[in-house]
């Protein structure tokens, strides 16, 4: 039986490249939407990472999700859309771009599906779009209620509003499901998006945040998106977090794996607010600063995640984050030689 034709947005990005290769490996016919015809570098590296035959290629279509005229032709014959295209940024200068790419882009994709008769829509959201815990010791779940707060990052707001567009699509007849991944780690370019943490540790990182967050491997996010589609889990959102880890523990693990000195300074108390004020001043003056102010606040919070929909996933298993980082660093050539020798 032939598998359906699927369209993936953001197919040259971190998650989109992995999802494209996973679907190709599983025998799906893939239409891959890209904004720039010369942006396939990461996809090609991920294609090699999956060890796919050279003949396993998507049908590339150059287009912009901000241009409806680009989207409509790309959906010809498509049964399901996997919407991965998004801007991940915590920089103040990107506020407008976040709203355009994440909110308007998602609105355009939903509207195009409704117009062309595409029935199914799988959306890659974020834990940033979830609400807050009701108490200090309570976990954040799929049912946590969004609360307006000055501490909500611009990225979080954009992903929350994008989710509202997807829920609207459901009300208008679209079958939808969405994943809310934590911070996504794994093999990528090693220097941008959530992968930037590898580059940061490689350069030497003197400070560490005192909070915690949810983390997940990029391959697991791609597998969950496919799992939800193939098992008809519609009308819900699914937390996608392998582990909740304190940043200190994660940073120390990465430093050990990369042969770097561990950070010594905790980013809390007076140090936290000093760095935060410096970041805000730099943003006001429009000069570079290594950490966006939004990141400084969010990374100081002890966020714990727990899925209430896990029982619906029929034993879906996550890869431990230490293993995710090991194989990513090995593929990127950043793993310390002693660890390579130990495992040979």
The confidence score (pLDDT) of residue 284 equals 80
Strand 237-240 and strand 175-181: the pairing is: parallel
The confidence score (pLDDT) of residue 135 equals 64
The pLDDT tens digits of the residues spanning 230-261 come to 999 999 999 999 999 999 999 999 999 999 99
Whether the per-residue pLDDT at 3 is higher than 80: the answer is yes
Altogether, the residues listed in the chain come to a count of 344
Top CATH class, 5-189+213-244+305-321: alpha beta
The confidence score (pLDDT) of residue 190 equals 67
Q: How confident is the model at residue 344 (pLDDT cuts 50, 70, 90)?
A: low
Closest listed residue to residue 122, CA positions, set 72, 173, 174: 174
DSSP category for residue 305: B
The confidence score (pLDDT) of residue 290 equals 67
Q: How many CB atoms lie within 10 A of CB 4?
A: 13
Using CA atoms, how far apart are residues 55 and 46, in angstroms rounded to an integer? Answer: 15
The answer to which of 221-230, 256-265, 334-343 has the lowest mean pLDDT is 334-343
Establish how many alpha carbons lie within 13 A of residue 332's alpha carbon, considering only the half-sphere containing its beta carbon.
Answer: 25
Establish how many alpha carbons lie within 13 A of residue 13's alpha carbon, considering only the half-sphere containing its beta carbon.
Answer: 22
pTM: 0.93
* Average pLDDT rounded to a whole number, residues 266-288: 81
DSSP symbols for 9-32: ETTTSHHHHHHHHHHHHTT-EEEE
Domain spans in the chain, listed from the N-terminal domain onward: 5-189+213-244+305-321
* Average pLDDT rounded to a whole number, residues 189-202: 81
The confidence score (pLDDT) of residue 111 equals 98
281 by DSSP, 3-state: which? helix
The confidence score (pLDDT) of residue 66 equals 97
Strand 212-217 and strand 243-246: the pairing is: antiparallel
Q: How many CB atoms lie within 10 A of CB 205?
A: 19
Tokens 């941008």 belong to 192
Using CA atoms, how far apart are residues 301 and 214, in angstroms rounded to an integer? Answer: 12
């Amino acid at each position: 039986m032939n598998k359906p034709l699927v369209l993936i947005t953001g197919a040259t990005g971190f998650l989109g490249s992995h999802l494209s290769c996973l679907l190709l490996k599983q025998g799906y016919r893939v239409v891959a939407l890209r904004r720039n015809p010369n942006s396939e570098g990461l996809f090609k590296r991920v294609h090699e990472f999956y060890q796919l035959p050279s003949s396993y290629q998507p049908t590339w279509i150059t287009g912009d999700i901000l241009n409806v005229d680009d989207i409509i032709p790309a959906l010809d014959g498509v049964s399901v859309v996997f919407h991965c295209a998004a801007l991940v940024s915590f920089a103040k200068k990107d506020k407008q771009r976040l709203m355009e790419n994440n909110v308007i882009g998602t609105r355009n994709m939903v509207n195009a599906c409704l117009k062309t008769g595409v029935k199914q829509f799988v959306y890659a959201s974020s834990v940033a779009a979830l609400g807050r815990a009701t108490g200090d010791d309570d976990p954040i779940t799929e049912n946590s209620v969004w609360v307006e707060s000055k501490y909500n990052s611009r990225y979080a707001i954009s992903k929350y509003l994008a989710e509202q567009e997807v829920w609207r699509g459901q009300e208008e007849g679209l079958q939808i499901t969405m994943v809310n991944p934590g911070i996504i780690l794994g093999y990528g370019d090693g220097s941008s998006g959530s992968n930037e943490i590898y580059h940061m540790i490689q350069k030497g990182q003197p400070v560490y945040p005192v909070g915690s967050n949810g983390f997940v491997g990029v391959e697991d996010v791609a597998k969950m998106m496919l799992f939800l589609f193939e098992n008809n889990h519609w009308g819900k959102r699914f937390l996608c977090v392998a582990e909740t880890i304190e940043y200190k523990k994660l940073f120390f693990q990465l430093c050990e794996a990369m042969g770097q000195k561990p950070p010594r300074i905790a980013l809390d108390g007076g140090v936290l607010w000093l760095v935060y004020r410096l970041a805000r001043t730099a943003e006001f003056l429009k000069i570079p600063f290594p950490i966006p102010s939004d990141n400084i606040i969010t990374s100081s919070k002890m966020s714990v995640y727990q899925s209430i929909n896990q029982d619906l996933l029929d034993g879906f298993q996550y890869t431990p984050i230490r293993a995710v980082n090991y194989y990513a660093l090995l593929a990127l050539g950043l793993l310390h030689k002693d660890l390579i020798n130990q495992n040979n």
